[in-house]
Amino acid sequence: HSTQIDAGRGALHEIHDQSGLLSHLTKRSERAMRPEEIPGMVRRVAEAMQTGRARPTSIEVPPDVLGTVADVTLLEPESWSRSALHQALKEAERRRVPVLFTTDHGSLHCHTPATIYARRDATPSLRFKFGEELRVEDADGAVMIDDFAAWGLPDYPPATRLALATGDRFFVYPTKLREYQARYRGAFLHGGVSPEEIILPIALLTPRRR
């Protein structure tokens, strides 16, 4: 029963602060205490499932709320034809303006540490580093760039090197090896050399000839 939730009586096999616990374990966790709250709750959780990284979601509705008869306003499905993006595309078509679609670069789920040696003034990124006297312990762990012009990159001061992590690696310093491994293993990072990070999809939409 909804009146027993968070009452600390152990009803409904309840765990202490069940909602708070689920919020840490799921991408989105919601509870409906009135029938009128259910449609909006379902939509928000469904939107969370369709965007970003795939993770579990949670919906909690007490049995007595499910059995309650009430006037509920059902939300209309979102209409593509009424969306701002659709209207913008229709206007671009009317004006005979081509539209270019692209995305930001992606990220990589990183699991493998790569030990790197660098001076204190090296950049802090975990997938790429600029600095002097850069070197990696394993040559396969990074692409090392000294000649920036050859790679079509801006010039940097002499002796500056660029290290780009390969595969699913992330850079760790030998002095903070365990700390960095524990903190960043399994993180989503970007800045290295992988298809996900360096290839951007592009779509060019041109108005049809009339």
Q: What pLDDT shows up at residue 12? A: 57
Q: Kindly state the DSSP code that residue 76 receives in the 8-state scheme.
A: P
Distances (CA, A) of 70 to 36, 40, 61, 144, 192: 7, 15, 15, 66, 55
β-strand partners of 113: 170
- Pull the structure tokens for residue 101: 């679609």
Q: What pLDDT shows up at residue 14? A: 63
CA distance 124 to 120: 9
Q: What pLDDT shows up at residue 17? A: 74
Q: What pLDDT shows up at residue 103? A: 86
Q: Compute φ and ψ for 11, nearest 5 degrees.
A: -70, 155
Q: What pLDDT shows up at residue 146? A: 92
Q: What pLDDT shows up at residue 5? A: 73
Q: What pLDDT shows up at residue 192? A: 92
Q: What pLDDT shows up at residue 8? A: 66
CA distance 85 to 96: 16
Q: What is the pTM of this model?
A: 0.60
Q: What pLDDT shows up at residue 52? A: 72
Q: What pLDDT shows up at residue 10? A: 61
In sequence order, the 6+-apart residues with CB closer than 8 A to the CB of 143 are: 163, 164, 166, 193
Q: What pLDDT shows up at residue 155? A: 86
Mean pLDDT by 10 residues, the chain (210 residues): 68 69 85 90 87 82 86 78 86 93 88 92 91 92 93 88 95 89 90 90 87
Q: If you compute the radius of gyration of the chain from its CA atoms, what whole number of angstroms results?
A: 26
Q: What pLDDT shows up at residue 76? A: 77
- Pull the structure tokens for residue 110: 């990183």
Q: What pLDDT shows up at residue 47? A: 85
CA distance 170 to 109: 10
Q: What pLDDT shows up at residue 148? A: 92
